[in-house]
């Protein structure tokens, strides 16, 4: 490899490192803002929001193991959140037919209504936080990030 090519490779690596650090910083800033708004305006948490979001998309419900897999957290983490959601009337548990150990969880009608309103507000918050990014730029960035994620997931599967 020529000295020029080696320098270009090193420069590209540094730019990718800078990109990663900026993505990480931005992600933490946005997540921190959303956590604070959920806490202060709705007395809820981001993990609780995430559980409700997953269940909202799975109208028929999900097994606890599916839910923890979808959110990439342990069953233990999910159990505590689901327990509180059940106590608040947002989620119901049901035995999975043919599997005594498995539980199916789904949002109640009230849980679906509460989440729908919260999700709309969440979307507005994110829209405001990313207002500096136009729709075309957002679409392009989203496509690039998806391509990277797909590549990484293929690598993990292979």
Average pLDDT over residues 49-62: 95
Cβ neighbors of 70 (< 8 A, separation 6 or more) are 54, 62
Structural contact between residues 103 and 63, judged by C-beta atoms closer than 8 angstroms: yes
The pLDDT score that the predictor gives to residue 155 is: 85
**Domain 44-157 in CATH 1.10.10.10:** yes
The pLDDT score that the predictor gives to residue 62 is: 94
Which residue's structure tokens are 């293929």? Answer: 154
Structural contact between residues 45 and 35, judged by C-beta atoms closer than 8 angstroms: yes
Read off the tokens for 140: 């392009």
Structural contact between residues 106 and 91, judged by C-beta atoms closer than 8 angstroms: yes
Residue-wise pLDDT for 60-109, tens only, equals: 999 998 999 999 888 888 999 999 999 999 999 998 888 878 889 999 99
d(CA 92, CA 18): 45
Task: Answer yes or no: is pLDDT of 3 > 80.
Answer: no
Average pLDDT over residues 126-131: 97
The pLDDT score that the predictor gives to residue 133 is: 97
Q: Out of 43-57, 67-81, 122-136, which region has the weakest mean confidence (pLDDT)? A: 67-81
Mean pLDDT of the chain: 92
Nearest residue to 138 (alpha-carbon basis) of 14, 146, 122:
146
Read off the tokens for 65: 């193991």
Residue-wise pLDDT for 137-146, tens only, equals: 999 999 999 9
Strands 91-96 and 62-63 turn out to be unpaired
Instruction: Report the side by side order of strands in the sheet with 91-96.
Output: 62-63, 99-107, 91-96
153 or 133, higher pLDDT: 133
């Amino acid at each position: 490899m020529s000295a020029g090519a080696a320098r270009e490779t090193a420069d590209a690596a540094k730019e990718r490192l800078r990109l990663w650090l900026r993505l990480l910083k931005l992600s933490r800033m946005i997540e921190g803002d959303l956590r604070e708004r959920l806490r202060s305006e709705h007395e809820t948490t981001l993990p609780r929001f995430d559980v409700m979001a997953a269940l909202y998309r799975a109208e028929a419900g999900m097994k606890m193991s599916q839910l923890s897999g979808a959110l990439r957290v342990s069953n233990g983490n999910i159990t505590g959140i689901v327990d509180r959601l059940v106590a608040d009337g947002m989620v119901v548990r049901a035995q999975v037919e043919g599997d005594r150990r498995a539980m199916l969880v789904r949002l109640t009608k009230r849980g679906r209504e509460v989440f729908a309103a919260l999700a709309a507000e969440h979307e507005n918050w994110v829209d405001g936080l990313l207002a500096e990014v136009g729709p075309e730029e957002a679409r392009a960035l989203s496509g690039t990030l998806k391509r990277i994620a797909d590549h990484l997931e293929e690598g993990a599967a292979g």
